[in-house]
Amino acid sequence: MGFVLAWLPSEHYVRDIFIITLTAAFAATLLSIRFYLRITAGRCFTETKMEGKTVIITGANSGIGKETAKDLAGRGARIIMACRNLETANAVKDEIVKETNNNKILVKKLDLGSQKSVREFAADIVKTEPKIDVLIHNAGMALAFRGQTSEDGVELTMATNHYGPFLLTHLLIDVLKKSAPARIVIVASELYRLSSVNLNKLNPIGTFPAAYLYYVSKFANIYFARELAKRLEGTNVTVNFLHPGMIDSGIWRNVPFPLNLPMMAITKGFFKTTKAGAQTTIYLATSDEVANVSGKYFMDCKEATLNAAALDEEKGLKLWEESVKIVKLTPQEPKI
Q: What is the pLDDT of residues 125-148, one digit of tens each?
A: 999 999 999 999 999 998 878 889
Residue 312 CB contacts under 8 Å (≥ 6 apart), including other chains: 223
> Angle CA(336)–CA(134)–CA(112) in degrees, nearest 5?
65
Whole-angstrom distance, CA of residue 314 vs CA of residue 199:
11
Burial class (CB in 10 A: 0-12, 13-18, 19+), 40: exposed
Counting residues of the chain whose pLDDT is more than 90, the rounded percentage is 74
Say what the pLDDT of residue 255 is.
57
At 198, the amino acid letter reads N
Domain assignment present for 175: yes
Whole-angstrom distance, CA of residue 46 vs CA of residue 130:
27
Alpha carbon of residue 31 to chain centroid: 27
pLDDT band with cut points at 50, 70 and 90 for residue 74:
very high
Say what the pLDDT of residue 245 is.
87
Residue range 101-110: mean pLDDT, rounded: 98
Alpha carbon of residue 54 to chain centroid: 20
Say what the pLDDT of residue 33 is.
47
Domain assignment present for 35: no
CATH at residue 316: 3.40.50.720
Residue range 35-44: mean pLDDT, rounded: 52
What angle do helix axes 313-326 and 212-231 make, rounded to 10 degrees?
A: 100
Domain assignment present for 34: no
Domain assignment present for 149: yes
**Dihedrals phi, psi of 58, to nearest 5 degrees:** -80, 145
Does residue 101 or residue 46 have the better pLDDT? 101
One DSSP character per residue, 38-49 reads HHHS--------
Closest CA to 301 of 49, 37, 40, 34: 40
Say what the pLDDT of residue 19 is.
65
Domain assignment present for 6: no
At 57, the amino acid letter reads I
Are residues 42 and 280 in contact, defined by beta-carbon separation less than 8 angstroms?
yes
Whole-angstrom distance, CA of residue 111 vs CA of residue 83:
7
Residue range 7-25: mean pLDDT, rounded: 62
Are residues 57 and 68 in contact, defined by beta-carbon separation less than 8 angstroms?
yes
Residue range 21-50: mean pLDDT, rounded: 59
Active site residue 283: no
Which entry of 212, 214, 215, 297 is annotated as an active-site residue? 214
Domain assignment present for 19: no
pLDDT for 260 beyond 60: no
pLDDT band with cut points at 50, 70 and 90 for residue 248:
low
At 255, the amino acid letter reads V
pLDDT for 32 beyond 80: no
Are residues 59 and 278 in contact, defined by beta-carbon separation less than 8 angstroms?
no
Q: What is the number of structural domains in the chain?
A: 1
161: left (phi over 0), alpha (psi -120 to 50) or beta: alpha
- Tell me the average pLDDT of the chain: 88
pLDDT band with cut points at 50, 70 and 90 for residue 251:
low
Domain assignment present for 18: no
One DSSP character per residue, 215-271 reads HHHHHHHHHHHHHHHHHTTTTTEEEEEEE--SB-SGGGTTPPTTTHHHHHHHHHHHS
Closest CA to 167 of 158, 177, 178, 155: 158
Q: What is the pTM of this model?
A: 0.84
- Which structural domain range is residue 277 located in? 44-327
The region of weakest confidence among 2-11, 73-82, 232-241, 315-324 is 2-11
pLDDT for 203 beyond 60: yes
Are residues 197 and 315 in contact, defined by beta-carbon separation less than 8 angstroms?
yes
pLDDT for 10 beyond 80: no
pLDDT band with cut points at 50, 70 and 90 for residue 262:
low
Task: Please tell me which of 16-30, 104-118, 135-149, 248-262 the model is most confident about, judged by mean pLDDT.
Answer: 104-118
pLDDT band with cut points at 50, 70 and 90 for residue 40:
very low
Other beta carbons within 10 Å of 4: 7
Domain assignment present for 14: no
Counting residues of the chain whose pLDDT is more than 70, the rounded percentage is 79
